[in-house]
Structure 1
């Protein structure tokens, strides 16, 4: 069994006290990602844009590990306002995973790491499973 820290070319999260992802053999455990741009740390107030950016951030980590988004087996979505934002998040989720979506849990939370963040997504992928 091999354990490897995965850091995408952007250096996304490399300054944090945790790894963007940990790869153990073909399993990839991706830390939670928000809708913040990895370079500027700026994010939109809109849940649609935040969800899209979170998935772009996740995709950069998965690709750095040699995988693709279709390798995602499980997603956990954390949202600060399920009532107002759940449907908009679902629209993006369906667009990212048009066929064979991963298993998913969605959890309402009071706050995320920074004020104004509406969504955070973490995933587990099995690299090569979509081929």
Structure 2
């Protein structure tokens, strides 16, 4: 099995000791992405906007691997306040995956990597699926 590190076109690596994604054969494991700007690391306090930007960050990694959102087979969403922010996240999720959404788990967590972050999303995609 071949294992390849995938880095988005920006060339930016995370500020932590992990890869943006790992491709093993045709399976792409995308690390958790938050709704922070990849260059400035700034983020909105709005869960809807954080979710939207998290998906933009994920999409950049998918593109670097030759995949798209249509190739996502599993998503895991981590949220710090599901009671307050679930419907906003879900609204964005539905717009990103309008047809045949991937399998999904949504998990409530006490904290994310930086104070103020509300949403983190990781995905698994099938590269070359023609989605």
Residue 40 (str. 1) matches residue 40 (str. 2): yes
Partner of 2:55: 55
Q: Distance in 2 between matches of 1:22 and 1:47?
A: 27
Aligned length: 131
Partner of 1:16: 16
Partner of 2:107: 107
TM superposition score normalised by structure 1: 0.96
Partner of 2:2: 2
Q: Distance in 1 between matches of 2:50 and 2:12?
A: 16
Gaps of 5+ in 1: none
Q: Distance in 2 between matches of 1:25 and 1:88?
A: 35
Q: Where do 1:41-120 residues align within 5 Å?
A: 41-120=41-120
Q: Distance in 2 between matches of 1:37 and 1:129?
A: 29
Q: Distance in 2 between matches of 1:12 and 1:84?
A: 32
